Amino acid sequence: MSLTDATRPTDVSLNTDLYELTMAQGFWESGLVDAEACFTVFFRDAPFDGGYAIACGTGQIADLVENFRYTDEDIAYLGSIQAPGGGALFKPAFLEWLGGFAMDVDVWAVPEGQVVFPREPLVRVQGPMAACQLIETALLNLVNFQTLVATKTARVVQAAEGHAVSDFGLRRAQGPDGGLAVARASYVGGASSTSNCLAGKIYGIPVFGTHAHSWVMAFPSELEAFRAFARTSPKNCVLLVDTYDVHQGVANAITVAKEMEAAGERLAAVRIDSGDLAKLSKFARRAFDEAGLPYVRVSASNDLDEYTIQSLFAQGAPIDSFGVGTKLATCDPQPSLGGVYKLSAVRKAGESSWRPTMKLSEVAYKRTIPGIQQVARFYDEAGCPVGDVIYDETMPQATPSAAVDVMDAETTYDFAGYECQDLLVPVVRGGVRAGEAPTLEESKRACKDALMHLDPAVRRFLNPQVYPVGIEAELSRLRQRLVREERTAQRA
């Protein structure tokens, strides 16, 4: 199932900022509606002070494009919007045009699960100016949050060192849509399961759950509660042992585990949700081993993130799996990825060559990269990426192996001799999907593989090494020329 099934198609095209529609009307009025545009999505800094991000949300772009149309109801609503200065905001002839609108764009995107780095294009959209403008907000909404969540999850999963991580974040997520996006992106980023049943139904993600403290409190005693849970869920029995006292909780869990054994069943695990998780997990592990129950696993939750999990293992905590909620769903401590959508080339109707464009800006940090961008990723013999180069696909003289650092013109790269692969792949052609997107399982595998091959120095949490990202030499020269020309034009 896809976005198509999860949201009503009519929600897609109005799920935008008003200014996209106002600009579309302007393009339509000024004869620019059919001028061609090329927009690029990128972010400027890796989230969480990390060295990389995991591309996510891009697998749903084709759904977004194919559902991007305006129904009669949408048009009627737009027709009812009043301008602050009086009168209808949108002209009837524009709304008539919008009623017949089709999102006939071409889109290239980095496949879900790939590692991506600051400044390089995650998505490239080409097509009629008004269409490219109209899709901006919905596209960023799709890609920014899921890329952030997939990245956060990859970090948590890295800290968990191969132990299962379940997404428990729905109750703290940013609304129902946010919860679904968290489940989807966290699965791509490496989570083993989610507690979110709707995500299980829509996306086929494995669902997992234990029980709440209320279950224990609903019975006269903890032991009775555990026995009742073992009766109702013998094949999925994880007992929450911290409602009153973990030592007593573990003792009760051992009693129930023995009773389950006598009935031919097995207690799967206990969950500890408060207190010193290192000390308590060591206590629980020892108690189960001494009771002859080495198969009972120890699971932990309680405001966990990559740092607490890393610390727990550094303390020798024998924890087998983790439930991670609030800090994963809200991407604590960075609630947003600042991915942007910038115009990088325009072409007048009927013209054959593109005019590269760039945002100059006072601050070099905000300066964009012009052109019809593609990313060449270079790999060593072991299949490990050694650097990425942004180049312009339409420049015949472009040599992607020779590049200038994306932030520091003094640093140059020469990747000649390395294997190379383009990162952006076609996902939409003329408004229609260019093929089936990889499944979530495939994207999850791609993510695992990409992270396995990424230099651990780039993956580490503290002061990660900066992965080399360059601008191809010709494109870099073009960019410098555009800066000079723009400065001269401003002085004139």
Ligand X SMILES: O=P(O)(O)OC[C@H]1O[C@H](OP(=O)(O)OP(=O)(O)O)[C@H](O)[C@@H]1O
Ligand Y SMILES: Nc1ncnc2c1ncn2[C@@H]1O[C@H](COP(=O)(O)OP(=O)(O)OP(=O)(O)O)[C@@H](O)[C@H]1O
- Residues near ligand Y (CB under 6 A) are 274-278, 302-304, 308, 311-312, 315
DSSP string, 364-377: GGG----SSEEEEE
47, 57, 323, 438: residue in contact with ligand NIO (rule CB under 6 A): 323
The stretches of 263-411 forming alpha helices (DSSP H) are 277-290, 306-314, 326-329
Question: Which among ligand X, ligand NIO, ligand Y, none contacts residue 324 (Cβ within 5 to 8 A by kind)?
Answer: ligand X
Q: Are 174 and 86 in contact (CB under 8 A)?
A: no
CA-wise closest residue to 153 among 375, 437, 440: 440
Choosing from 50, 325, 370, 371, the residue that interacts with ligand X (CB under 6 A) is 325
By the 8 A CB rule, do 305 and 326 touch? Answer: no
In sequence order, what DSSP letters do the residues of 209-267 get, joined into one string? ----HHHHHTSSSHHHHHHHHHHH-TTS-EEE--SS-HHHHHHHHHHHHHHHHHTT---
Of 47, 212, 34, the residue nearest 115 (C-alpha): 47
In terms of CB distance, is 44 or 172 closer to ligand X? 172
Q: Which of 301, 308, 368, 401 binds ligand X (CB under 6 A)?
A: 301
Residue with tokens 């006598």: 262
Nearer to ligand X, 137 or 326 (CB): 326
Angle between the N-to-C axes of helices 92-99 and 18-29, in degrees from 0 to 180, rounded to the nearest 10: 100
Which residue, 158 or 195, is less far from ligand NIO as judged by CB?
195
| 390 part of the interface to ligand X, by CB under 6 A | no
Q: Which does 209 bind (CB under 5 to 8 A by kind): ligand X, ligand NIO, ligand Y, none?
A: ligand NIO
Least distance to ligand X, CB of residue 302, Å: 5
The residue number whose beta carbon is nearest to ligand X equals 325
The residues near 74 (Cβ < 8 Å, ≥ 6 apart) are 10, 13, 14
User: Please, are residues 287 and 251 in contact by the beta-carbon 8 Å criterion?
Assistant: yes
Size of the site for ligand NIO (CB under 6 A): 6
**Considering only 105-113, 121-129, 321-329, 423-431, which stretch makes contact with ligand X by CB under 6 A?**
321-329
Q: Which does 275 bind (CB under 5 to 8 A by kind): ligand X, ligand Y, ligand NIO, none?
A: ligand Y
Q: Tell me how far, at minimum, the Cβ of 227 lies from ligand NIO, in Å.
A: 19
CB of 155 to ligand Y, least distance (A): 16
For the chain, count helices (H), then strands (E). 19, 21
Site for ligand X in 74-93 (CB under 6 A): none
Which tokens belong to 387? 């650097």
Half-sphere exposure of 287 (CA within 13 A, CB side): 22
The interface partner of residue 326, options being ligand X, ligand NIO, ligand Y, none and the CB cut-off 5 to 8 Å by kind, is ligand X
Tokens of 101: 């609108």
CA distance 311 to 278: 9
- How far are the Cα atoms of 43, 53, 59 from residue 145, in angstroms, in the given order? 12, 11, 13
Binds ligand X by CB under 6 A, chosen from 183, 304, 337, 471 = 304
Q: Is 324 in the site for ligand X (CB under 6 A)?
A: yes
Site membership for ligand X, residue 303 (CB under 6 A): yes
Neighbours of 67 (CB within 10 A): 19
Q: Does 323 bind ligand X (CB under 6 A)?
A: yes
Nearer residue to ligand NIO within complex by CB, 325 or 464 = 325
Tell whether residue 325 is a contact of ligand NIO (CB under 6 A). Answer: yes
Tokens of 338: 């600042």
Contact call for residue 273 and ligand X (CB under 6 A): yes
| Binding mask of the shown chain, residues 186 to 225, with x at each position contacting ligand NIO by CB under 6 A | ---------x-------------xx---------------
Select from ligand NIO, ligand Y, ligand X, none the partner in contact with residue 195, using the beta carbon and a kind-dependent cut-off of 5 to 8 Å: ligand NIO
Q: Which residues bind ligand X (CB under 6 A)?
A: 168, 172, 273, 301-304, 323-327
Q: Which residues bind ligand NIO (CB under 6 A)?
A: 168, 195, 209-210, 323, 325
